[in-house]
Chains A and B, each alone.
Chain A
Amino acid sequence: MKRLDHVVVLAGGLSPERDVSLRSGRRVRDALDEAGVEVTIADADAALIPSLLADRPDAVFPAIHGSYGEDGAIREILDLTGVPYVGSVASACRGAFDKPTAKALVAAAGISTPDSVTLPREIFHDLGANAVIERIIARLGLPLFVKPARGGSSLGASPVRTAAELPTAVVSCFAYGDTALIERFIEGTEVAVSVVDLGNGPQPLPAVEIVPGAGQYDYTARYTAGQTEFYTPARLPDAASDEVTKAAARAHSALGLRDISRTDLIVSEAGDVYFLEVNVSPGMTETSTLPMALDAAGHEFGEACLTLLQLAAERKV
C-alpha cells in the first residue's frame, strides 16, 4: 500500500459540534502519530486552502462534524484543491446529512424508518403552531421524537411523551436549525452500526448497544464518560443482530457512501429494525461507538485510520 509522508486531519469547524470534532481530531491524530505517520491538524478556516496548496498532503482525514464536515461542503473544497480524502463524496454527504432525505432514500431501499413529518419553522408561524401541532399528534400519535433535520450529537433533540411537551421540543429543536424532523418514537434497543471499507469493500462492524444511564442518549450522556453503558456486540437475538448489520450496510450503499459511516438504528420490542439516521463523519472520541466497534472487530484504531488514508491516497482525484 502507498507509503504516506504527510496527512492532515481536519477538525473543528464552526458548528455546535466543534468541541466534539476537536476531540475526534485529536484522537485520530494521536493514533496516526503512534502509527508513525506525520500528521497535522487543520481547521476549516481561511488558512486551510493556502496550506493544502502549499504543502499538499497525501490524504486528508475529515473529522469535522455537523455543518461543513457532514453536509458535503468541506469535501467540495477538498475536491477543488485536488486532495484525496477519507470518506464520502460531497453529493452523498448532502443526502445523508439531511435526515429526511436520508430516511426517504433508505426507505426506498427497503429499510423501515419511523413515520415522520418534516416541517420548517415558518410553517408553524404562518399556519398557526397549535393547528400544526394538533395535526402532527393526530397523524403520528405519541410518543414522538423531535430533532433538527440537519445536525448531530443529539443537539436540539428530545423525546415527547405528552402533547404538552411537543411545543417545547419543537422550540428547542429550532435553536439548532430551522427545520424540524418529528418522528414516531420507537421504544426498543438503540444500536450504532459502523461500516468501514478497509480494502475489501464496505463491511459492517459489530453493533454497539447504547444504554444511557439517565434514560436519554443526549449530549451529556454521549460525552460524559461513565454515563452510558455500551455493549459490544449488542445484546440482541442472532436474527436481530444480523438484521441491524445488514440494514447498516444497505443504508451505506443506498446513500452512496464511501469508506466509513455510522448508522443509528433502533430494534423495537417486537424485534423490528428501524433506521434513524446516518453519520458520514462519525465521532472518534473516547466515548464514540465507531472506535469501540473497530476494537471489537479486532482492528487497531490507528491502523484502521492509516489504512483508510492509504486507500484514499491511492484513489484518482
Chain B
Amino acid sequence: MSDSARHGNPRPQGSRIDPYFDQYAQRARGMVASEIRALFAVTARPEIVSLAGGSPYVTALPLDVVGDMVGDLVAGQGSVALQYCTAQGDPGLREKICEVMSLEGIKAHPDDVVVTVGSQQALDLITRIFVDPGDVVLAEAPSYVGALGSFAAYQADVVHVQMDDDGLIPEALAETIQRLTSAGRTMKFLYTVPNYQNPAGVTLAAGRRHRILEICRAAGLLVIEDNPYGLLGFDGEPPRALRADDPDGVVYLGTFSKTFAPGVRVGWAAAPSAIRDKLVLAAESAVLCHSSFSQLAVREYLATQPWREQVKAFRELYRQRRDTMLDALSAQMPEGCRWTSPAGGFYVWLRLPDGINSKAMLPRAVSSRVAYVPGTGFYADGSGTDHVRLSYCFPEPDRIREGVRRLAQVIEAEIDLRATFGSVPSLGGPGSDTPGPGDL
C-alpha cells in the first residue's frame, strides 16, 4: 500500500519533493543538478579516456609497503592513532612539514603550521576567517576551481588578474588593486598558485615574485600561496616559495595529496601567528580535530620511507606523460589551437580555435569517448569558454595519445559546425562545470 493510501489522505497538491527548498541559505542557491556535472558520471567508465580528472597516479606508490606501515601504525601506536588530537595537528607531523617546506626555502617553526583536511580545508578556513559577503578576493585568471568554490561559499566577489606564460602579471595586479581601491572596494587577499598552476600549467617567473610581494605589501594585502605542485617540477630545483621571502605577508598552503596520496586528506597552512591562532579556532569549530590516523600515517611515511625518492619517481612519471601529451597535441590538434607547456604539475591549458565553446562541446566529446574540463569552471565571471583543461597525470601514455586523437576529431567537428552556423551564443546551464574529485 502506498504512503498516501496508508495514511488515508491524498498526496498534498503541489509537492516539491524537498519541503525545505525555501529555507536554504543564499549561498546554497547555486548547489543544483548540473548537466555538465552529470556528463562526468560517464567518464568513470573505462571506455572514456578522461583527460578531465586531476587524480594523482597513486598506483606508482609501493602500496604493499604502505600497507605494512599502516598495519604497524595501528598495532604499535593505535591508542594515539585512533584517538582525538589537537585542532592544530600532530606536533611530530608539523615538524616533518617544516622539513618539507624547507625544500622551497621556507624557514618555519612547527608552531606556525596548522594541519588541515587537504589544503582545500585550509582554503575554506582562510576564507571563513577573512571574507564577509561582498568582499573582494583577487585570483589569477584562470584560477583553481576548488578555491573558487570556497570563495563562492562565503559569497566573496572574485576579481581575476591577468596572467601570461610567466604567471601573474605584476602590472595587472597593481592596476587592479588601484582600480578597486579607487572604487572603495574591500580586498581581503590575493590567492595564487604560483607553481605549475592549475589549470594553466604556468609558473610565476622568479623575477616577478619579489614584485608581486612588494605590490601586495604596499597595499596591505595578504597573499595566499597555494602550492600543491611545487615539488613536482620536471627541471631543476623547486621554485622558491613566496613565503620564503615574506613570512609575515604570506599564508602558505601545502598538501600531501600529490607527493604522497590524496586519500589521506592531509594538508596544511603555514601562517603568521595571529592568523594561525584564528585558523586553529576555526578548524576546531569545523571538525573538532583532524584524523589522527591519517596524520600519523603521513608522519610515519615521511619518517620511515624514502619519500624524496618517491617524489622523484612521480616527477619522472608525470614528465613522460606531459611529453606524451604535448607530442600528441602537436601531431593531432587542428589549426587555431594553442596550448601551454607546463614545466611541472598535472595540466595543459588548451585554447580552442575562435568561436568554439568548450562547455557546449563537452557532450559531443563525451559521446566520442573523451572528457576534459571546460575552461568556464576556472573563472568566477563566466569567462573561459574558449579554453579546456587537459590533465595528463592519471591516464597511461597510450590512453593520453588516444584521448588527444579523439579530442582533435571533436574539435574538427565543432569547427565544421561553427562554419555552418557562424558564431552563435551558447546556452549555459546552471551548476558546476567541473568534475567532482572522484570523477575520472
Contacts and interface: CB of A to CB of B under 8 A. Distances in A.
Interface of A: 12, 14-20, 22, 43, 45, 121, 124-125, 129, 155-156, 158, 167-172, 174-176, 211, 218-220, 222-232, 235, 286-287, 292, 294-301
A296 B11 contact: yes
Interface in B356-385: 360-364, 366-367, 369
Contact of B17 (A155, A174, A230, A231): A230
Interface residues of B, number: 49
A155 B429 CA distance: 10
Contact of A14 (B20, B45, B360, B425): B45
B427 A295 contact: no
Contacts of B304: none
For B32, B362, B419, which residue has the most chain A Cβ atoms within 10 angstroms?
Answer: B32
Interface of B: 1-5, 10-11, 13-18, 20-22, 32-35, 37-39, 41-42, 45, 47-48, 360-364, 366-367, 369, 416-417, 419-422, 424-427, 429-431
Given A16-B366, A175-B363, A220-B35, A129 B426 contact: no
10 contacts: A14-B42, A17-B38, A124-B421, A155-B363, A156-B363, A170-B421, A230-B14, A230-B15, A230-B17, A298-B4
A124 B420 contact: yes
A129 B360 contact: no
A19 B38 contact: yes
Contact of A121 (B41, B360, B361, B417): B417
Given A16-B38, A45-B45, A167-B422, A174 B417 contact: yes
Contacts of A229: 14-16
B14 A231 contact: yes
Contacts of A45: 45
A99 to B, nearest CB: 17
A299 B369 CA distance: 40
Given A124-B421, A129-B421, A224-B33, A300 B1 contact: yes
Contacts of A15: 42
Contact of B429 (A220, A296, A299): A220
Contact of A172 (B10, B41, B420, B426): B426
Given A225-B16, A292-B11, A219 B424 contact: no
A269 to B, nearest CB: 20
A232 B2 CA distance: 14
Dominant SS among interface residues on chain A: mixed
A229 B430 CA distance: 19
B35 A155 contact: yes
A18 B39 CA distance: 8
B249 to A, nearest CB: 42
Contacts of B37: 19
A298 B32 contact: no
A1 to B, nearest CB: 18
Contact of A220 (B2, B15, B33): B33
Contact of A125 (B11, B17, B416, B431): B416
A235 B421 contact: no
Contacts of B425: 168
B2 A219 contact: no
Contacts of A174: 364, 417
Given A20-B38, A226-B22, 16 more contacts: A12-B45, A16-B367, A17-B38, A121-B417, A124-B421, A125-B420, A168-B427, A169-B427, A175-B361, A219-B35, A219-B38, A222-B33, A228-B17, A296-B4, A297-B2, A298-B1
B415 to A, nearest CB: 12
Given A225-B21, A226-B16, A295 B3 contact: yes
A121 to B, nearest CB: 7
B34 A226 contact: no
B345 to A, nearest CB: 29
B13 A235 contact: yes
A35 to B, nearest CB: 13
Nearest to A176: B363
A225 B28 CA distance: 13
A168 B424 contact: yes
Contacts of A167: 421-422, 424
A272 B422 CA distance: 38
Contact of B32 (A18, A129, A220): A220
Nearest to B43: A18
A16 B363 contact: yes
A233 to B, nearest CB: 9
Contacts of B3: 295
B18 to A, nearest CB: 4
A171 B421 contact: yes
B32 A286 contact: no
Contacts of A22: 41
A300 B42 CA distance: 31
A287 B21 CA distance: 13
Contacts of B431: 220
B428 to A, nearest CB: 10
A205 B299 CA distance: 61
Nearest to A304: B2
Given A169-B427, A220-B429, A220-B431, A16 B39 contact: yes
A298 B9 CA distance: 11
Nearest to B35: A219
B33 A219 contact: yes
B2 A299 contact: yes
A169 B424 CA distance: 9
Contacts of B422: 129, 167
